[in-house]
């Protein structure tokens, strides 16, 4: 069993509800680990489409404020129909970078305090059952598998 840095076992992670309705067009399907930096992933994000502008805006606007505020995104280009240098969120523009290496299926969120979170990006066309399983595994305490390994095993 893995313990956090404080020596206590963190509670099982639960998907984080978004500010938007779970059934609305901008609903954020996000699962975050209870404690960050416990493995190669800090959670998972299941966007509803391959439209980075719409989905990243929903992610930034719906990110739980008690966990931080998203300052920057780093994305894997093959996950999206097109990328851009910025995403317009409610609070203003968010810078977007692209990994120099493709097909990682990861988004890195840099929070305002400098914290960097690595989230598995679950493909929008993934079935609900598989997507939920991937999100649970990516955000589970003690997960040691990276995005490629989780996706290959699904």
**Is residue 23 in some structural domain?**
no
**Is residue 61 in some structural domain?**
yes
Residue 127 is part of which domain span?
Answer: 36-153
Domains contained in the chain, number = 1
**Is residue 109 in some structural domain?**
yes
**Is residue 19 in some structural domain?**
no
**Is residue 140 in some structural domain?**
yes
- How many other β-carbons are positioned within 10 Å of the β-carbon of residue 73? 22
| pLDDT at residue 35 in the model | 84
Burial of 40 (0-12, 13-18, 19+ CB in 10 A): middle
Binning pLDDT at 50, 70 and 90, where does residue 95 land? very high
**Is residue 29 in some structural domain?**
no
Binning pLDDT at 50, 70 and 90, where does residue 26 land? low
Question: What pTM, to 2 d.p., does this model score?
Answer: 0.81
**Is residue 107 in some structural domain?**
yes
- Cα–Cα distance for residue pair 117/107, rounded to 1 Å: 8
Question: At 63, phi and psi to the nearest 5?
Answer: -65, 135
Average pLDDT over residues 91-116: 91
- Cα–Cα distance for residue pair 78/98, rounded to 1 Å: 10
**Is residue 138 in some structural domain?**
yes
């Amino acid at each position: 069993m893995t313990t956090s840095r404080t020596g206590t076992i963190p509670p099982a992670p639960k998907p984080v509800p978004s500010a938007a309705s779970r059934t609305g067009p901008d609903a954020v399907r996000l699962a975050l680990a209870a404690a960050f930096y416990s493995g190669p992933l800090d959670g998972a994000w299941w966007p509803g489409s391959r439209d980075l502008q719409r989905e990243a805006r929903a992610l930034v606007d719906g990110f739980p404020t008690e966990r931080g505020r998203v300052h920057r995104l780093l994305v894997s280009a093959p996950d999206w129909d097109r990328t851009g240098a910025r995403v317009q969120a409610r609070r203003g523009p968010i810078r977007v970078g692209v990994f120099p290496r493709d097909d990682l299926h990861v988004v890195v969120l840099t929070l305002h305090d400098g914290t960097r979170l690595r989230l598995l990006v679950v493909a929008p066309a993934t079935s609900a059952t598989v997507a939920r399983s991937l999100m649970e595994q990516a955000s589970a305490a003690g997960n040691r598998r990276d995005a490629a390994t989780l996706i290959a095993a699904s």
